[in-house]
Chains A and B, each alone.
Chain A
Amino acid sequence: GAVVSQHPSWVICKSGTSVKIECRSLDFQATTMFWYRQFPKQSLMLMATSNEGSKATYEQGVEKDKFLINHASLTLSTLTVTSAHPEDSSFYICSARLGLAENPYEQYFGPGTRLTVT
């Protein structure tokens, strides 16, 4: 149980275009989802916290107009990188929190999306 999927797993786009990444909780409802960015050989850096039906909360230094997050349902959150540039190339990981009383804070991670902007 507690499976999170991401689509696509790998995407190449041209500079100036936008790309959307989907994150789905397959077998549970997630009131809270998270988006992380990971550079090679580095740790996960939280970009934003997404709650169903409300605006995402962005971490300091993350441009909300560039990284659009939509959490339209309890099983789907999307990250849209707008007007992508080569410096946006990275590995993007989403996670979802079950929020069970006996395990309230564990996050279940998607397999990640590798974005390359040319």
Chain B
Amino acid sequence: AQTVTQSQPEMSVQEAETVTLSCTYDTSESDYYLFWYKQPPSRQMILVIRQEAYKQQNATENRFSVNFQKAAKSFSLKISDSQLGDAAMYFCAWAYNNNDMRFGAGTRLTVKP
């Protein structure tokens, strides 16, 4: 069974500092996609970053970057120079072929001013 695990229910970071959110997944597939979604209080799901499993290079989007370790089945999200607007629930997700997307339980990120 494909599962996505986020072991940190809550995380806190000081404004302007860096924080890393963890995600591991379990799959026997070799070609798949991984995503980090942000859900602010408005509850609108917003894509933060996407990683194709066949790409060895870690994806980067401005202050957001991932550490993708395929062998370890790990996909962590690093947020640099944290801003107050980064406060939200963050969901790690996995998708393969035409199957649905599997989500982790989420990590609630608090940013302290």
Interface residues of A (CB under 8 A from B): 32, 34, 38, 42-44, 46, 49, 91, 93, 95, 103-109, 111-112
Number of A-B contacts (CB under 8 A): 46
Main secondary structure of the interface of A (DSSP, over half): strand
Please name 29 pairs of A and B residues whose Cβ atoms are closer than 8 Å in the assembled complex, sorted by A.
A32-B98, A34-B100, A34-B101, A38-B43, A42-B106, A43-B91, A43-B103, A43-B104, A43-B106, A44-B45, A44-B103, A46-B100, A49-B100, A91-B43, A93-B43, A93-B45, A103-B50, A104-B33, A105-B95, A105-B96, A106-B33, A106-B47, A106-B95, A107-B101, A109-B37, A109-B44, A109-B45, A109-B46, A111-B42
B10 CB to closest chain A CB, in angstroms? 10
How far does the alpha carbon of A109 sit from the alpha carbon of B46 in the complex, in Å?
A: 8
Chain B neighbourhood of A108, CB < 8 A:
47
Chain A neighbourhood of B104, CB < 8 A:
43
Binary CB contact string for chain B from 72 to 113 against chain A (1 if under 8 A, 0 otherwise): 000000000000000000010001111011011110000000
Main secondary structure of the interface of B (DSSP, over half): loop
Kindly state the interface size class of chain B when it binds its partner.
Answer: 20 to 34
Residue pair B45, A95 in contact (C-beta under 8 Å): yes
Residue pair B42, A106 in contact (C-beta under 8 Å): no
Residue pair B33, A105 in contact (C-beta under 8 Å): yes
B35 interface hit (Cβ, 8 Å) = yes
Residue of B nearest to A111 (CB): B44
How far does the alpha carbon of A80 sit from the alpha carbon of B86 in the complex, in Å?
A: 34
How far does the alpha carbon of A111 sit from the alpha carbon of B40 in the complex, in Å?
A: 11
B31 CB to closest chain A CB, in angstroms? 11
A34, A42, A109 pick with most chain B CB within 10 angstroms: A109
The 7 closest A-B pairs by CB, nearest first: A105-B95, A109-B45, A105-B33, A111-B44, A43-B103, A43-B105, A112-B43
